[in-house]
Structure 1
């Protein structure tokens, strides 16, 4: 059978795209993913379905790709990505804030006028069912429920964080998905009754009976098959055996790491690198895997008086955040501080929210140990030592540095190399320092002191040195197959998501972002799937 469309990757963008394309009952759509397909919310293990659990992000978990990248040269770090139908929307922190208006208008200014804020707003609205706001900026009928924690749901540290920010002069920001002044407020979440509303649940569960939609989990795609310059299918491994699927159009929706990896494995990428690994060049596309962007971050650790109260059933691990601008920055809203509402140990240890019980990672000791051996001993020790701390996550949301994703070999089973090159641009580190200083000031406020707050790290040491040695990531790897006109030598796809230089191949996920947005990418990834579906039949 030849499908009309084969989508590789059933994550945030892929599920949305498959659902919308299959609304046309004359179009046969095949959606593939390397991980399991749980089909319905009731079938997901609690450690995945419960929003309070971050267990699947621990290295070695079977539905985690468990990539390892370098944040700075020689500084290895685990990069969790969801490996199941639902993708990273099934394992992330359920942060569902859209990119800013200015982000999308910048995309348009770079030659992508179909992706301006005015063009993408209808697709944000189409994707969501906002349970808190009903106005011109929010949707009411979409598949993705969005809500914010109410006053009574806030943990004491979350409430203290909001009050400390207001006391410091930052404005209140009750709706972070509206184009309003940046400030402090509750985080929009795709969570209902404590359940993580991933895209497999919200976009696919109700349409499984469509005869023109086929969803196959546990299907590892090795490469795209070409006939000359035209993509005609995918080579996969399923049930331990090779299998090929043929399609009129192939869409890579495998995410910011796997999509460029698959392009290169298939012969689309920097020609010299492809030849080095013995891969036949289908199209020399030097931008594949280049210009990579992310949100570097660092944890400010602290403790408060011991609280043994079990986490509530509908607990959300990250409830509030502050978005603000670094002094003398040329980019508005380039910094964020997110207040963790519970220690990481309580997020990975048990999906019940109780302190008692065997941590999830200990139920798979061999896989866990194998994954941890790939990481520096110092990193493993530091994270274990800090797992009972509360944190303020300080992130740089508009880095000037750029990274790279590259081939380690021509074997699809080998993970790609990932060099994020954080802080390589001299404009970045001073802004991270400013963000950490502000976090420390907030923790010394009366609002936090009444909770018995004690700062664990950093101490009075050189902040630049401490940040460089304790750098982390927000796991938002983007722009690795960026969108732009053919005249842009770094562009990989056009604004219809079609790969330059070949036929029948598109990329639809956060790898196509021309520039990284100044917020987490989850909501924007879903929008990309929605927007791309609407553009699918239009002539360029």
Structure 2
């Protein structure tokens, strides 16, 4: 990020956070560096004004997978590729790690909300969970917290055991490494699990509070090792690794799309809302898409393939709008059935955590927004690319632990601790509360008394939920948001595991490593649960249904599987069953959700999916495990 770009951030972001401040010196810096910024080699890629009638490949969705796909397919100069993205460009604000939650419910967010359900999200407005999804080039990698977690090797071996050859851990590891440019020199030396030179920059945080290391020490007190969670062993504690470059967000748009903007065979169309996949009803071949840009309908054809990379909500929505989905449902909303595929929109999985597990401390070492975001920190960020603005909303340390419901002798933990030097109250009940969708009544009763206090938070996240949600069309109108049913905590196993995760989180706060900061649990009883004896199993069973946090990992809604699986939507080559010339490459193809934050696996799916496309259309090419660049 150039100084001028950060200056623009300071003008916009500092005003957003602090109101009017003395920003004249920063404006002067902006003017001084204006011409340099125009020559930034990482500047935004230009939108193609004159879209051709036909391309070899049309990719729908420029998110974490789609950005990778267009990069890799355009390596072949003989292939023309069009990327259609419903949103626009990233902004200077999106670059700044500490501001990620301020992007929720912005113009870069689809602003999805689930249908009201009694099983979870009872503390949210209308009992509806907020499902933030990126409507921007780079997709949700522009809005997320940049956590780079690959998942557990057993996740991928399980995918393979379901009848998906080529998706075992040893098969997918090279694709994780292919993307990676690991900036931690200690990790980079471990060439079995890490690599350098890829498009995606992975680095440690430039800024940590003393709590980050204290969390590691607390994990050791509880009997866990300090590990590389993306290496040989997942169980244990570690400082997070981030998709960050020189202290700024490294979205997939920045990593994979900006470097290819001068390739002649790559065209980009932003603010382009795809409404339908065009499928010949006789041959059942996908031959193009319809989309709306600037209020006008456009049609573009694909000589080879249409590739859906629109994500776990939009990809099944588009399949159903185009006649691929459960027959009865499509008939109910008046869509002619091209192929009866009962699994489309089903099998929805997500990671949830319990919010509000807050520990007060006696030392000013936590991430309190009013203390960290100021003119000095903005200047430090602009000049040295470090400091408080590189803090990832306080996320510093991760812990993977096994509850009594997991196999204690196996390295396949069932809870992830997201350990933060901040919490819901660190901004005084403004943006975090709004991003999470909490009601004013719930927030004020439970948290208002500790606004802006020094705290840390423990967010226990359920790694492998048994509960399954689903997505349905609201109507045949492509601009109507689909109906989304999360079904969180509808399986008792999920309640049991998450309850044990909460107990372990409370125990972590009782370790001497954290007690030396004066740590004490904020034990205010939650509304709707006050009638139960405090901190009993019955109380926690109630509490986890109140402040139920999605971690925004919607997935598995067009799952991959063998032909014998009636609920499989795509085959192991990611080709849609029943229709030729159509492939899905994004989080929706996961058979089961991975054990950890899913952005890294989605990027891996983009890498492997692109290779599968290449292998089909380049039959004489040497078929290495991971193909070389063209």
TM-score, normalised by the number of residues in structure 2: 0.77
CA separation in 2, counterparts of 1:341 and 1:194? Answer: 18
Give the RMSD, CA atoms, in angstroms.
2.5
User: Is the 8 Å Cα contact of residues 205 and 247 (structure 2) preserved in structure 1?
Assistant: no
Can you give the 5+ residue segments of structure 1 that lack an aligned partner in the other structure? Answer: 39-43, 350-358, 363-367
User: Is the 8 Å Cα contact of residues 163 and 447 (structure 1) preserved in structure 2?
Assistant: yes
Partner residue, 1:341? 421
After superposition, the Cα gap between the structure-2 partners of 1:427 and 1:410, relative to the gap in structure 1 and judged at 3 Å, is same
Q: 1:247 is matched with which residue: 302, 315, 325?
A: 302
After superposition, the Cα gap between the structure-2 partners of 1:410 and 1:29, relative to the gap in structure 1 and judged at 3 Å, is same
Give the CA deviation at 1:178: 0.6
CA separation in 2, counterparts of 1:30 and 1:101? Answer: 34
> Does 2:248 align with 1:195?
yes
Partner residue, 1:64? 109
More deviation in 205-214 or 461-470?
A: 461-470
CA separation in 1, counterparts of 2:425 and 2:84? Answer: 33
After superposition, the Cα gap between the structure-2 partners of 1:186 and 1:168, relative to the gap in structure 1 and judged at 3 Å, is same
After superposition, the Cα gap between the structure-2 partners of 1:70 and 1:503, relative to the gap in structure 1 and judged at 3 Å, is same
CA separation in 2, counterparts of 1:323 and 1:505? Answer: 38
Which structure dedicates a bigger proportion of its chain to strand?
A: 1
Q: 2:174 is matched with which residue: 122, 132, 157?
A: 122
CA separation in 2, counterparts of 1:125 and 1:86? Answer: 20
Give the CA deviation at 1:328: 3.1
Give the CA deviation at 1:139: 1.6
After superposition, the Cα gap between the structure-2 partners of 1:84 and 1:136, relative to the gap in structure 1 and judged at 3 Å, is same
Q: 1:214 is matched with which residue: 267, 270, 284?
A: 267
CA separation in 1, counterparts of 2:292 and 2:183? Answer: 41
After superposition, the Cα gap between the structure-2 partners of 1:27 and 1:491, relative to the gap in structure 1 and judged at 3 Å, is same
Partner residue, 2:92? 45
Give the CA deviation at 1:187: 1.1
Partner residue, 2:350? 294
Q: 2:467 is matched with which residue: 401, 417, 420?
A: 401
Give the CA deviation at 1:454: 3.3
Partner residue, 1:165? 219
Deviations 1:350-400 (A, max 9, x none): xxxxxxxxx7899xxxxx9xx99x986656767984875642111100111
Give the CA deviation at 1:127: 0.5
SS class of match (2:97): coil
Give the CA deviation at 1:257: 1.2
After superposition, the Cα gap between the structure-2 partners of 1:203 and 1:346, relative to the gap in structure 1 and judged at 3 Å, is farther
User: Is the 8 Å Cα contact of residues 358 and 457 (structure 2) preserved in structure 1?
Assistant: yes
Deviations 1:141-176 (A, max 9, x none): 1100112237xx421222222111111111111x11
Partner residue, 1:310? 372
Give the CA deviation at 1:287: 0.3
User: Is the 8 Å Cα contact of residues 85 and 271 (structure 2) preserved in structure 1?
Assistant: yes
CA separation in 1, counterparts of 2:422 and 2:516? Answer: 17
After superposition, the Cα gap between the structure-2 partners of 1:378 and 1:79, relative to the gap in structure 1 and judged at 3 Å, is farther
Partner residue, 2:579? 502
After superposition, the Cα gap between the structure-2 partners of 1:498 and 1:384, relative to the gap in structure 1 and judged at 3 Å, is farther
Deviations 1:507-540 (A, max 9, x none): 0001000111011110011110000111113349
User: Is the 8 Å Cα contact of residues 71 and 420 (structure 1) preserved in structure 2?
Assistant: no
Deviations 1:102-149 (A, max 9, x none): 111111111111111111111111010111222121121110011223
TM-score, normalised by the number of residues in structure 1: 0.89
Give the CA deviation at 1:233: 1.3
Give the CA deviation at 1:177: 1.0
Which of the two has higher C-alpha Rg?
2
Give the CA deviation at 1:446: 2.3
> Does 2:515 align with 1:454?
no
After superposition, the Cα gap between the structure-2 partners of 1:205 and 1:171, relative to the gap in structure 1 and judged at 3 Å, is same
SS class of match (1:115): coil
